Structure 1
Amino acid sequence: MGRGDLTDAEWERLRPFLPVSNRRCGRWRDHRQVIDGILHRPRTGVHWCDLPERFGPWKTVHERHRLWSADGTWGTGPIRRRPPGLKGGWARGTPGRDAVAEPRRPPGEGGGGGEGLGRSRGGFTSKVHLSADGRCRPLSLVVTPGQRADCTQFEPVLEKIRVPRTGPGRPRKTPDSVAADKAYSSGPCRAYLRRRGIRHTIPEKADSQAARLRKGSRGGCPPAFDEKRYKRRNTVERAINKLKHARAVATRYDKRGYVYLGAVAAAALVIWLRT
């Protein structure tokens, strides 16, 4: 067992969520060896063809990762399982984002918007939007071009949250509460949260506050703000920091957007297995 490989306990937690066979090629090659190779690549950022031989043929590892990134297999493991012992506390997560460093593709090669690539102040980049629970574990992930505003992905990030219940019933999709920074302080975001009955703590922007005060009584009441609850908003920043420990997440090397999203999901999976 090499550094960073799955332990026996981690493998037993992950194994029940993995598909047994593939329609095209029958039964899969040993999952554990291949998954150790898949997880090695985001952590170190090496080229697929430079994977150590102990993981088996690199093409097998790459193809397994590509297929599972495309069919959503990476989203059905422990990242979708109800956190044990948290009861309702899982919902204290925070929608957030992080600008990813320069991808390998040169800036002169097209727009790339369909692959989650776009031009922003940092250059030709991607952006990862996510929500996290109170223990800094990602609950949902969305990849967009780097110039995409944070508030535009507020609803997609929250809509992707699925936390299965311990007993019968549909997965929970409504958090107990949401804390977010000023980037999400907009009318549509607040209206969406009110419509779903989600308590929220989002600081009001200075220009919005000034516009409300200018209107006097017609400006309405200031939005509720719980300063104590807002102090816990840094959980999402710590979750992003944990994800960026994986070099292939901090710096995008994948050309295809769904493959990069799979790499981010694999890094999130490691956080879930080891937290």
Structure 2
Amino acid sequence: MAQRRLWEVDDGLWERIEPLLPVVERRFRNPGRKRLDDRKALCGILFVLYTGMPWEFLPQELGYGSGMTCWRRLRDWNEAGVWQRLHETLLAELNSAGLIDWSRAAVDGSHVRAPKRGPKTGPSPVDRARIGSKHHVIVEGGGIPLAVTLTGGQRHDVTQLMPLIEAIPPVRGRRGRPRRRPEVLYADRAYDYDKYRKLVRAKGIQPEFARRGTEHGSGLGVYRWVVEKAIALLHWFRRLRIRWEIRDDIHEAFLRIGCSIICWRKLKNNSNC
């Protein structure tokens, strides 16, 4: 039996994605060429995400349609909120299964180059002023991405601390009100500002940020490493290692898909999905 390729959507994931896709009615008069099957288009999108291949080089023999068709489908589905809703759906299932650790969370940012420039790019202070973007990620205690944001490469990590907290969706799956806030938030020295500690406390979260000017070995790395693991998993997708998209919304769509795939793998490995 042939092994399933990484970018091919398995049945369990497709069952969760298909109901979220907008329905496109075919025109009665002048219907034109038959619309490419949504599942095949999604496989083409994932092929680009996994391999980093330019859209125009998407192999036609795979049967996923043209690169432009897949690009349009990615754009349209992102505008319809499909990827955000998919992420929220998977978070709810993980929460229902008791796989989200709300006792703590961790936050960090990572720079990626953006050779084609575009919105949300800028000179990086850590990469000889090369133009790039930053991926900002907040994860729960086990490393599951709760939210992700995109900024220019010149933006300081701490400026995205509160937007990340606000971006955590209401996570359902358990009795009672949806959960949105971890109990403790861990971060490195880049987030060590009294102003932001107060803002985090005002959200009902205990900040545990490493102090600037102190020696390494605070012990907080025992809890912070999960966010570094999550960023490494996101950058395992070749299309997220370097930002080739001029449009920021397209790159953000890839980021949300990456977060959803990480959630799906966690759910699949811990259940009979």
Q: What TM-score, normalized by structure 1, do the two folds share?
A: 0.81
Which of 241, 255, 264 is the matching residue for 2:255?
A: 264
CA RMSD of the aligned region, Å?
2.7
Report 1:147-158 matches (<5 A). 147-158=154-165
Match for 1:130: what amino acid? V
Structure 1 contact 43–267 (Cα < 8 Å) conserved = no
Is residue 2:192 matched to residue 1:188?
Answer: no
Residue 139 (structure 1) shift = 1.0
Q: Does residue 160 in structure 1 map to residue 151 in structure 2?
A: no
Given candidates 73, 86, 98, the residue that maps to 2:98 is: 86
Offset from partner CA, 1:148-172 (integer Å, 9 cap, x none): 0011110001100014222576532
Please give the alpha-carbon distance, in whole angstroms, between the structure 1 residues aligned to 2:230 and 2:86: 18
Query: 1:23 Cα deviation (Å)?
Result: 8.0
State the alpha-carbon separation in 2 of the partners of residues 63 and 32 from structure 1: 14
Distance in 1 of aligned mates of 2:170 and 2:243: 28
Is it true that 1:103 corresponds to 2:102 in the alignment?
no
Matches within 5 A, 1:49-88: 49-53=56-60, 54-80=63-89, 81-82=91-92, 83=94, 84-86=96-98
Unaligned runs of 5+ residues in structure 1 are 107-111, 210-226
- SS of aligned partner of 2:106: coil
Match of 2:148 in 1: 141
Determine if contact 1:13/1:78 at 8 Å carries over to the other structure. no
Deviations 1:234-265 (A, max 9, x none): 10000000000111101111001111111111
Of residues 211, 235, 241, the one that matches 2:232 is 241
Which residue of structure 2 aligns with residue 223 of structure 1? none
Q: Distance in 2 between matches of 1:256 and 1:105?
A: 10
Structural mapping, 1:205-220, within 5 Å: 205-206=212-213
Q: Relative to structure 1, is the Cα distance of residues 43 and 187 closer, same or farther in structure 2, using a 3 angstrom cutoff?
A: same
Q: 2:14 aligned to 11, 15, 29, which one?
A: 11
Candidates 185, 202, 208, aligned match of 2:209: 202
Gaps (5+ residues) in structure 2? Answer: 29-33, 267-273
Deviation per residue, 1:33-81 (Å, 9 max, x gap) = 1111111111111111211221123222110111223343211104453
Q: Distance in 1 between matches of 2:76 and 2:238?
A: 21
Q: Identity percentage over the alignment?
A: 29
Distance 1:28 1:73, change over 3 A: farther
SS in 2 for 1:86: coil
Matched with 1:173 is: 180
Q: Once the 2 structures are TM-superposed, how far is the Cα of residue 130 of structure 1 from its aligned partner?
A: 0.9
- Could you list the runs of 4 or more consecutive aligned residues of structure 1 that deviate by over 6 angstroms after TM superposition? 23-28
The corresponding residue for 1:213 is none
Distance 1:23 1:4, change over 3 A: closer
- TM-score, length-scaled by structure 2: 0.81
| Number of equivalenced pairs | 248
Does the CA-based 8 Å contact 2:56-2:68 persist in structure 1? yes
Letter in 2 for 1:268: C
